[in-house]
Amino acid sequence: MALRLSILYIGSRCPQDFGSAHSHLFLACVDRPDAIQSLKQRPDIVLMDPFAPEDNIDPENVRTWFDGLGACHFKFSPAVFVIVPEETKKRVRLSLMALGADHVVDWPLDIREIEVKSKGSMDKLHLQQALYSKTASLEKSFGYLDRFKRELKKVKDELLEDKSNLNTALKQIHQMSEGRNRLKQNLLDIKTQMAGDMEGFGRMLYALIRQRVERNRGHGERVGEIACFIAKKMGLSQKQLEDLSKAGMLHEIGLLFLSKDYIYPKEPEGQEAGEYPDSSPTVYDQAMMVQFPVKGAELLSHCRGFERVAAVIRFLNENVDGTGYPDGLTWHHIPLASRILAAADELETLRESNVSFGVQALLSELEPKIGSRLDPKIAGWLEKYAVLHWGADTLQVRGVGVEQLKPGMILSATLFTQTGTKLLPAGETLTRQAIDKIIQYHRAYPVEETVYIKV
């Protein structure tokens, strides 16, 4: 396939037969080099014909033609062929190529020679274009690389700044952690000190109660011990046990509101020392004897750390049958801790009032209060406490399981189901019929795990 070429001829001998004889050649002619600047499209080949037949062949005369061609700013310079006469010497030809000519061709022109030499020039042009494209792409890549380097430096600076900020933040966190640990230690010390202060305050209040209103020294401590025994058996938490112990010691604090004459009655003449006089309490003292748990709870509720203790003491005089004070609550509407405290206080008061009574006599005195004043389930644990702690030496009791019961055994404590139903009283001698009754109930309503009997 013939090479398609656009040719610009500069000179006075325009070869018009090129364009007409060869369709793959596009020829344009101008008579002087500066006319090339008017062209809008770059030619592939420029044929310069600076030597008329009558001119002398002097390469220096061609320099102005090259200067005029150089004034045209093409991205890719066209190939320049200089036309010389056939007899032009080799020296002249080389001088022309040194001035900038790509090839030197003879006049008259040979189209075949121009095509062959043009192919090399076109290959050179394609290489230049490819090189230009690669160079532009490479420069673009270098531009991207420079921008990436700048962005990378910016990111690096930001990372260094973030690292510095992170180190500062870590130092602050470390300082805050140390400060937090110090605060925690200070708080722990304060809590320990407050616990000690509360314990001391409680002891101080109990000393005041023991000094002013307790007729049997140590009553509060013993009530607290009994209450904690029952609470532990019933699965209350350690915190609730601590509250019950404090409530036991302080449950009589409301009695401090009694009149001085009632607390310290004057002994009439002829009364022996140590005997309690027969004095009629005033209406105020009578009301206070009923309401003293409420008054004591109100007093303790203003003391930080004793709020739960106050809540336990407030319902001390409530009865499970709803006949108590101050609210007439029944059964489970009364807080469990208050029911336990009331039972412990009742048992200890009975013991103190009947020192000469044996355990069985005490339990007999306690019996009428079960179901009215006392929760039967709690009363069952009361009796076990009395048997285990006060009657173990005299009664010689032991605990057995339901399946170990035999006719002829004597109950040392009243037998209740876990729901509080009374089955048999203390002192009952077991018969086969009674054991069958216990086993029957045990299947539907389990009794206590341990049944205490006399040995």
Determine the Cα–Cα distance for residues 391 and 396; give it in Å rounded to an integer. 7
The pLDDT of residue 237 is 92
Residue 322 lies in a domain: yes
* 313 in the same domain as 247: yes
Q: Between residues 16 and 355, which one has the greater pLDDT?
A: 16
Please state the rounded mean pLDDT for residues 305-317: 90
The pLDDT of residue 276 is 46
* 350 in the same domain as 245: yes
Pairing of strands 397-400, 451-454: antiparallel
Encoded amino acid at 109, one letter: L
The pLDDT of residue 455 is 57
* 100 in the same domain as 246: no
Domain boundary among 62, 79, 109: 109
What is the pTM (predicted TM-score) of this model?
A: 0.55
Determine the Cα–Cα distance for residues 441 and 423; give it in Å rounded to an integer. 9
* pLDDT-derived band at 303, boundaries 50, 70, 90: confident
Determine the Cα–Cα distance for residues 207 and 94; give it in Å rounded to an integer. 133
Q: What is the CATH number of the domain that holds 329?
A: 1.10.3210.10
The pLDDT of residue 273 is 45
Determine the Cα–Cα distance for residues 42 and 430; give it in Å rounded to an integer. 132
- Cα angle 292, 293, 294 (rounded to 5 degrees) comes to 90
* 302 in the same domain as 321: yes
Q: What is the pLDDT of residues 206-219, one digit of tens each?
A: 777 777 766 667 88
* 441 in the same domain as 293: no
The pLDDT of residue 26 is 86
Please state the rounded mean pLDDT for residues 245-255: 86
Least confident of 172-186, 211-225, 335-349, 413-427: 413-427
Q: What is the pLDDT of residues 71-125, one digit of tens each?
A: 677 778 888 999 888 888 888 889 888 888 889 998 888 888 888 888 888 888 8
Domain boundary among 109, 134, 168: 109
Residue 278 lies in a domain: no
Q: What is the pLDDT of residues 39-56, one digit of tens each?
A: 778 888 888 888 866 556
DSSP secondary-structure letter at 56?
-
How far CA 255 is from CA of 95, 285, 301, 390, in Å, comes to: 138, 9, 16, 28
How many distinct structural domains can be found in the chain? Answer: 3
Cβ atoms 8, 45 nearer than 8 A: yes
DSSP string, 340-379: HHHHHHHHHHHHHHTTT--HHHHHHHHGGGBTTTB-HHHH
Residue 303 lies in a domain: yes
Q: What is the pLDDT of residues 385-440, one digit of tens each?
A: 887 787 655 545 666 777 778 888 887 777 777 666 777 777 788 888 888 888 88
Question: Has residue 178 got a pLDDT over 60?
Answer: yes
Domain range enclosing 58: 5-109
